[in-house]
Amino acid sequence: MQTDTLDTVLIDKEMLLGVKPSNLHLSIEASDEGFGFALFDLLNNRYVGIGYRNFGTALHGHALAKRLSEEFDKNHLHETGFTKSSLVWVSNRATLVPEALFDEKYAADYFNLNLSAQQHEILYYEKVKGLGAYNVFAIPEALEDFCSAKLKTPAVMHHSRILLENLLLAGNPRGLHVYLHVQAKHFDIVVIEDGALKLYNYYQYISAEDFTYHTLNTCKQLGIDPQTLAVTLIGEIEAESALFTILNKYLFKVNFYEPMPDYSLSLELGKLPHHFYYNLLNQYACV
């Protein structure tokens, strides 16, 4: 597994210096195990900076707020002068509610149908475009403390919205499409058939065997033959990884996501694999 190291920091300083603060949007990705950021030049529709750190261990409460603030300061994000911001919280504490049934007065009731409310959490809800549903999710109070101190009034979203909304609105051709969005200790499975969401789920994993078990079990539950299935990988996974190798043993075809974005990347950021950092590079589209 990944350790407490700075996995990625790429900032095109020359291009960043040319961006007025009023044209700079800061996207943040946070979880109890990591912190990421992306700097977006609104005028030129171009990302000029990105960074991500895995903590190596889960943090909660005051320790989480402190660590998020430390990472924010270490990367000198306050010095960019950004005037717009958003934040995505990565967790499995979210539930989807059909739009026809949703009433904001009962957001807590919807959440409690599938999840148990915990102390020191705050509930949010958001509409997921292209799905006809609302997402009700919880964030820790520590995250709101971080937002108040560093971001002022960011747009706060759940990571599943970024994934679902962008994939559904991308215009999938007819047929079955399975996406695996991979991060350090969890992954999301999204199944879209004929342009409609068939399944979304979030799984934690420790080993490549865990990862493969959840993928194959999903195929079994949906009646999909793995030997005929092509999956598309999104996120922080490489062709040399154990995850990729074991998937290739059991599935018909494994592809890496090739986005068709309406944004560009600076030359420095263009060095990254195109399927990396989906939550960060597609976050602004949902603001």
pLDDT of 4 > 50? The answer is no
Question: For residue 248, what pLDDT is reported?
Answer: 92
CA-based torsion, 118, 69, 43, 181: positive or negative: negative
Residue 287 included in any domain: no
What average pLDDT does this structure show over 177-202? 95
Question: For residue 173, what pLDDT is reported?
Answer: 78
Closest CA to 87 of 74, 108, 103, 72: 72
Count of structural domains within the chain: 2
Same domain, yes or no: 41 and 106: yes
The parent domain of residue 206 ranges over 172-256
5 — pLDDT class (breaks 50, 70, 90)? very low
Same domain, yes or no: 162 and 176: no
CA-atom Rg of the chain in angstroms: 19
- Give me the chain's average pLDDT, please: 94
What average pLDDT does this structure show over 37-50? 97
The pTM (predicted TM-score) of the whole model is 0.94
Same domain, yes or no: 243 and 143: no
pLDDT of 6 > 60? The answer is no
Question: For residue 171, what pLDDT is reported?
Answer: 79
Same domain, yes or no: 28 and 108: yes
7 — pLDDT class (breaks 50, 70, 90)? confident
Strand 121-128 with 155-158, pairing:
unpaired
| Residue 62 contacts residue 69 (beta carbons within 8 Å) | no
Alpha carbon 52 to its chain centroid, in Å, reads 12
